[in-house]
Structure 1
Amino acid sequence: MKQALADALEQRGYTDLTPVQEAVTKPELEGADLLVSAQTGSGKTVGFALALAPTLLGEAETFDQAQAPLALIIAPTRELALQVKRELAWVYEKANVVMASCVGGMDMRDERRALARGAHIVVATPGRLRDHIQRGSIDLSAARAVVMDEADEMLDLGFRDDLEFILEHAPEERRTLMFSATVPKAIGELAKRYQKDAVRVTTLAERSQHADITYHAMGVGQRDAENAVINVLRYYEAPSAIVFANTRVVVNRLTTRLSNRGFSVVSLSGELSQNERSHALQAMRDGRAKVCVATDVAARGIDLPNLELVVHAELPSNHETLLHRSGRTGRAGRKGTSALIVTPKDRRKAERILKFARLNAQWGETPSAEAVIAKDEERMLGSDAWREPIQENEAEMVATLTSSYDPDQIAAAYLRLYRERQSAPEELSAAGIDAPRQPREAFGPSTWFAIAGGRAAGAEPRRLLPMLCKAGDLTKNDIGAIRIQQDQSYVEVRQSSVSKFMNALGSGMTVEGGAKVSKLDGAPDLGARPQRAPRPPRPKYDPDAPRTDSAPRAERAPREEPQVAVDAKPTDWNDAPAPRQRKPKPEERRRAEAARGSKPAKPSGTPVGKPNSKKNKARAAAAAAEGKPPGRPGAKFRAGGPGFKKRDKR
């Protein structure tokens, strides 16, 4: 390892490398293409920074003057890209590295100026890096290595075309390192196409996913899902927590509700600007906010300090998303908790996701209000303040309190003040994911009554029940079974309500319509319900079996094959009828008639219309001057004749 990098790690407090960092820095892997699968939070950013050092620095300890970039680091989101830039900056700080970033949401002109000044390492998102390549504002000719961080997420977000474009424009003689939490088929195809003899690196942490994270699947009623989030946050009281939802609408609703309940909360979603996202993350880092409500994409790759709790307010769509969500906690050897809020309808989905992720979750109920209060009291009594000696600046006030109030009053006041600082927990319904269905309670001792009139008189239980309740001063809980027979109806009445029922009916013992009611000594003998004879099985269809009906099968006449006359006489086309003659045009018909002498032909010259018309006289004179025959006096003007002009059309 380079001395400059070793000094930077020692300054940061690194004593041992994580499994993925040890795996990628083995001497035999120097210069090789790597396909690394490592869980989120395993320290892979520092891992590929150490793995790139021999490729970028060579034998030198520091970088030369920055010109064209030597390495490209591609990340799916802006937050992850900026976080990677910060990590690489301190790792290579003593090596005089010059960093540049190309991420969406930033001013592209500033990025072009930074690239023009020169940079050793460029951290970028796929879309923005492709824009710079197409505009010619970045020179990839000197690139020695390309690293794709969270490669599976970039493919899920639809960056496959951008990645292929970038890799095709990068030099062929380069190292290509791909880091991914999971290695689906698409990642394997991309590695096979753009990597050369890639070495597959699988750490032990991948085989036992998230060993430092405790998973809890918490059942809750369908209507108490958001109340459960409040109780979970209150139960653990983590210094930093993140709540995941699937849509921006749910993120906004949860953020508003948690803010109203006194939580210091921020939100991360796609609708926020880069400036708003940066302020939200900074509030989580410096402790001004303790809860972050986010969507999957917005929170991908972010590293929040002291993040001990991840709450899945809505279940993710697949197990890979569950691993990415939960990977925000339990990082770099720290312990974390991942709580899944499971409603009854989501029980099977939760079991399926946990099974595919190879995770063993502890199933139970969501912490109730009593459990949250008990946890508060446990934390209160476990505070170190009870064991610390009284300070000098506290002695005067302590003496005043002990002299003015008795110990019980002081304890009660402290308890009230402690609870005022906390948000009150929510009361949750008892129906959880494993709540069994309650069996029907037994009706108990009863007496049967017979009512005249049954099915033949149109009696039905839905009509008898309200009639008996009204006439006998009963409720529906006082009436048990109702049995309708052909001529009689039988009703079961609770024993404690029999005297009230009979007193309400009176001595006549009749109900609405004059139907007579009589008390029975025991249960009526309704007899066994006749069993319907089973339907005989339908025989299978056999086309060759003889018919069982009396009608004989009709004999089908054999099909006659068409006979071809071999000695038929060929067709004489001379005997064929003459083709249909074309109908002669009017002009041809008139000429033919004129030739036969049957009718004088009409002159084809320009007609003159009315003989006294000045216009027609002028036309006739013009026709005579041209040697054309004049039209008949009084004839109508005919379009299309000799001397006809379009402007003369009427």
Structure 2
Amino acid sequence: METTNPFAGVPAPLREAIVARGFEKLTSVQEAVLSSEGAGRNLRISSQTGSGKTLALGIRLANDLIPADDDSTVARGAEGPRVLLITPTRELAVQVAAELRWLFARIKGVAVEVVTGGSDISRERRALSKSPAVLVGTPGRLLDHMKSRRLNCSSFRQVVLDEADQMLDMGFRDELEAILEFLPKDRCSHLVSATFPAVVKRLADRFQENPLHVEGTRLGVANADIQHVAHRIRPRELNAAIINVLLHARGERVLVFVRRRVDATELAERLSANGLAAAPFSGELNQTQRTRTLNAFKNGEQDILIATDVAARGIDVPEIDTVIHADVPADVENYTHRSGRTGRAGRKGRSVLMVPAHSQGRVRRIFSSAGVEAQWQPVPSPAQIEKRYTKTFRRDLHAILADSSLVSKKQTSYAKFLLEQPEQRDPLEILAALLQMAEPKPALQGYSIAEVSEGSGHSRDSRGPRNPRNSGPRRKASFGAVQTFEINWGTAKGATASRILSHLCRRGNISSSEVGAIRLGPAFSTFEITKASSEGFEKAARRPDGRDPNLNIRRSQGNSKPDYARRPKPHRGKRRDSYGGRAVAAGAGSRG
């Protein structure tokens, strides 16, 4: 029986790369690009974030990179680059370039280079002197190279504006207008945008002539791979609700959205203080820190990332399992971009929105405009969190039982000894005891949060418990037995809860789930370790640390309590749609 090749229309060198990469079929936007009429048409692509638009563009751009059958010349020409892709952020530029490199790897002579702000401009100039076939860059740095005449624009045959709506949101209108003046008139111009408000359409009409509109997934049509969940909460319970959702999502890669830079830092600190290793990702980080943080998130070293909307535009990680909206999105476009960070490349994902009681009507309008059928659910309870841990533990146990190679000879030998011991213990008792020891016992078990009924609003009588803080000893969550330790590292020497948590996990060979409250003081800080892990942690911590030899850890003497600096009260305005209940106008805030 003859089967249809799903990549039949893809050029041969690209087809080989796609198959080698493990793809089984094209996404709807990729099929739409292949089936579009007229090879020389300008494409105006609208599709969901994470729908494979970069690969779709690569298929289209290959027309000017693959030599003709009767032409032995390679794609790279001495006159300059042939393809230009403009992206809003450095992170996105790097990721787009990486995607195109493997896609074009089998085309002889095609080099892909990146030029972005914050990078070594001398290295970029050397790369440009070699006339790479494909150039990816951010607007500001591209314009710098164009003005200095280091970049020959006359050779460009195809130009792409990627995530055009985001570039305009970030204030790159002037740079884009200036870049257009340098580009040759005889070119193909492609524009990609998840949303097409009026301001984007105006730019598109100036940038393109007679475009063919390609819709991979129609605007307003929900991504079927994303489960949308909404939790009604009281504003004072926001942090507790986020902690419960994260505990319930243990082992998943989670991206949490906030509106402002300060919110990213503050939330990461609070989560880390509660034993959840979280890293902020915003414009407050320098480029080296941003790259290191993003790579840790991609590689699975960091499971929780707290990002501003602006900074997250450079994040393209297919394996994000859950997106949490810590504050209400500014509009439907904002919600679409945030949620689109999960459920990518055919994977399932979950978008979780924290909805203050007074914002229910606004959120419902956002869902309706986005074409989303959300599930309104209570915040996961401590009992549900415990059940999830147990379920995960039992799943892992059955996986080991199904593969005997995962069990060491040492453990097999001791199991035999237990079964053959003179006391003749019941095998059921032995097995139950081992299960009791092996099942994980997280220090933080979650907060009890009363369910908020539909249509209820915020009032003084409906207030829940205060937000869990990262700087005080008061804690309302349910914990197992813990041992308190102290470390000679305080805020005066740059200690933060997240830095201490990272040090403890590395030095003590433990996971963040085994760390309880971290209390910061000026000269030293204290922290909690679960009783079950404390002995092994203490033994590991006694060993000299090669990376931080001056940091010493010891059991707390019982009366050692760091002095706590009073935390300034946040500004409270009329609107409380942003994280922490701060007054923020829709769409406002500093660049992340």
TM-score normalised according to structure 1 size? 0.64
1:229 to 239, 242, 261: 242
Deviation at 1:44, TM superposition (A): 0.5
Give yes or no for contact 1:4–1:92 (8 Å, CA) kept in 2: yes
Q: Confirm whether residue 414 of structure 1 aligns to residue 435 of structure 2.
A: yes
CA distance in 1, matches of 2:32, 2:67: 20
What is aligned with 1:10? 19
What is aligned with 2:102? 90
Q: Confirm whether residue 136 of structure 1 aligns to residue 161 of structure 2.
A: no
SS in structure 1 at match of 2:270: helix
CA distance in 2, matches of 1:106, 1:165: 21
Q: Confirm whether residue 399 of structure 1 aligns to residue 397 of structure 2.
A: no
Q: Confirm whether residue 428 of structure 1 aligns to residue 433 of structure 2.
A: no
Give yes or no for contact 1:240–1:308 (8 Å, CA) kept in 2: yes
What is aligned with 1:247? 260
Give yes or no for contact 1:220–1:432 (8 Å, CA) kept in 2: no
Matches within 5 A, 1:289-328: 289-328=302-341
CA distance in 1, matches of 2:298, 2:254: 11
SS in structure 2 at match of 1:419: coil
1:2–1:382 distance in 2 versus 1, CA, 3 Å: closer
1:277 to 267, 277, 290: 290
What is aligned with 1:81? 93
**Equivalenced residues, count:** 439
Q: Which runs of 5+ in 1 are unaligned?
A: 441-650
Encode CA deviations 1:415-469: one digit per residue, 9 max, x unaligned.
354233564222224445556999x9xxxxxxxxxxxxxxxxxxxxxxxxxxxxx
CA distance in 2, matches of 1:24, 1:142: 24
SS in structure 2 at match of 1:218: strand
CA distance in 2, matches of 1:413, 1:6: 51
CA distance in 2, matches of 1:53, 1:406: 65
1:121–1:343 distance in 2 versus 1, CA, 3 Å: same
1:196–1:434 distance in 2 versus 1, CA, 3 Å: closer
SS in structure 2 at match of 1:94: coil
Give yes or no for contact 2:14–2:106 (8 Å, CA) kept in 1: yes
1:174 to 187, 191, 198: 187
Give yes or no for contact 1:57–1:63 (8 Å, CA) kept in 2: yes
Deviation at 1:404, TM superposition (A): 6.8
Deviation at 1:26, TM superposition (A): 2.7
What is aligned with 2:7? none
SS in structure 2 at match of 1:196: coil
TM-score normalised according to structure 2 size? 0.70
Deviation at 1:23, TM superposition (A): 1.1
What is aligned with 1:381? 394
CA distance in 2, matches of 1:436, 1:144: 57
Give yes or no for contact 1:70–1:143 (8 Å, CA) kept in 2: yes
CA distance in 2, matches of 1:415, 1:211: 40
Deviation at 1:255, TM superposition (A): 1.1
Tell me the amino acid that sits aligned with residue 91 of structure 1. L
Matches within 5 A, 1:194-233: 194-204=207-217, 206=219, 208-233=221-246
Instruction: Say which one has the larger Rg.
Output: 1
Give yes or no for contact 1:238–1:307 (8 Å, CA) kept in 2: no
Deviation at 1:25, TM superposition (A): 2.1
Tell me the amino acid that sits aligned with residue 386 of structure 2. I
Deviation at 1:368, TM superposition (A): 1.1
1:251–1:80 distance in 2 versus 1, CA, 3 Å: same
- Quick one: higher RCO (CA 8 Å, sep 6+), 1 or 2? 2
SS in structure 2 at match of 1:333: coil
Q: Confirm whether residue 50 of structure 1 aligns to residue 59 of structure 2.
A: yes
CA distance in 2, matches of 1:220, 1:191: 41
Deviation at 1:268, TM superposition (A): 0.8
1:422–1:65 distance in 2 versus 1, CA, 3 Å: farther
CA distance in 2, matches of 1:67, 1:98: 14
Give yes or no for contact 2:67–2:75 (8 Å, CA) kept in 1: no
What is aligned with 2:176? 163
Deviation at 1:14, TM superposition (A): 2.0
Give yes or no for contact 1:62–1:94 (8 Å, CA) kept in 2: no
CA RMSD of aligned residues (A): 2.5
Tell me the amino acid that sits aligned with residue 32 of structure 1. R
CA distance in 2, matches of 1:352, 1:27: 34
Give yes or no for contact 2:46–2:193 (8 Å, CA) kept in 1: yes
Encode CA deviations 1:185-217: one digit per residue, 9 max, x unaligned.
112112222211111112245452211100000
CA distance in 1, matches of 2:302, 2:143: 36
Give yes or no for contact 1:33–1:177 (8 Å, CA) kept in 2: yes
Deviation at 1:156, TM superposition (A): 1.0
Give yes or no for contact 1:205–1:211 (8 Å, CA) kept in 2: no
Give yes or no for contact 2:259–2:309 (8 Å, CA) kept in 1: yes
1:203–1:343 distance in 2 versus 1, CA, 3 Å: same
1:434–1:379 distance in 2 versus 1, CA, 3 Å: farther
Tell me the amino acid that sits aligned with residue 176 of structure 2. L
CA distance in 2, matches of 1:147, 1:238: 37
Deviation at 1:117, TM superposition (A): 2.2
Deviation at 1:410, TM superposition (A): 5.2
Tell me the amino acid that sits aligned with residue 170 of structure 1. L
CA distance in 1, matches of 2:284, 2:458: 44
Deviation at 1:118, TM superposition (A): 1.6
1:128–1:362 distance in 2 versus 1, CA, 3 Å: same
